[in-house]
Amino acid sequence: MTGGVVTFEQAKICPRCGKPGEEGKSVPVSAPRVPRGTRVVFVWCRTVVCPWYATSWPIQVYHDGTVREHDHSRDEKEYRVLPNFDARSQAVLDAVEAQVAMERRGDGEIRNG
């Protein structure tokens, strides 16, 4: 068990075809109690034969550069719960989910710094 902590390079690997995805938009997560600098990076699969071709998945990158692995085996809104999961982590996840949902709807004001 790695505890869900992965490197960014690992997180960029498409869970369906195993090839590295293409890094796309990076969205800062701004919410109370979320450490400044936390962001979500969207990665796109560019493997034409892959079921996830042209599909993006969010990678959550913390202010300190650590990455939390997205649990692709469950509903795509679910993030793996870490052993040291606490209320602050929950606040981060909530903010990330809100940001991701906003991105996918294509509305809301996204400020890029």
Residues at the site binding Zn ion, with contacts judged by CB under 5 A: 14, 16-17, 45, 47, 50, 52
Shortest distance in whole angstroms from residue 68 CB to Zn ion:
20
Shortest distance in whole angstroms from residue 24 CB to Zn ion:
14
Query: What contacts 24+ positions apart, CB below 8 Å, involve 67-74?
Result: 67/5, 67/6, 67/7, 67/8, 67/10, 67/11, 68/4, 68/5, 68/6, 69/2, 69/4, 69/5, 69/6, 69/10, 69/11, 70/11, 71/4, 72/15
Looking at beta carbons only, is 23 or 108 nearer to Zn ion? 23
Looking at beta carbons only, is 52 or 62 nearer to Zn ion? 52
Shortest distance in whole angstroms from residue 15 CB to Zn ion:
8
Looking at beta carbons only, is 49 or 87 nearer to Zn ion? 49
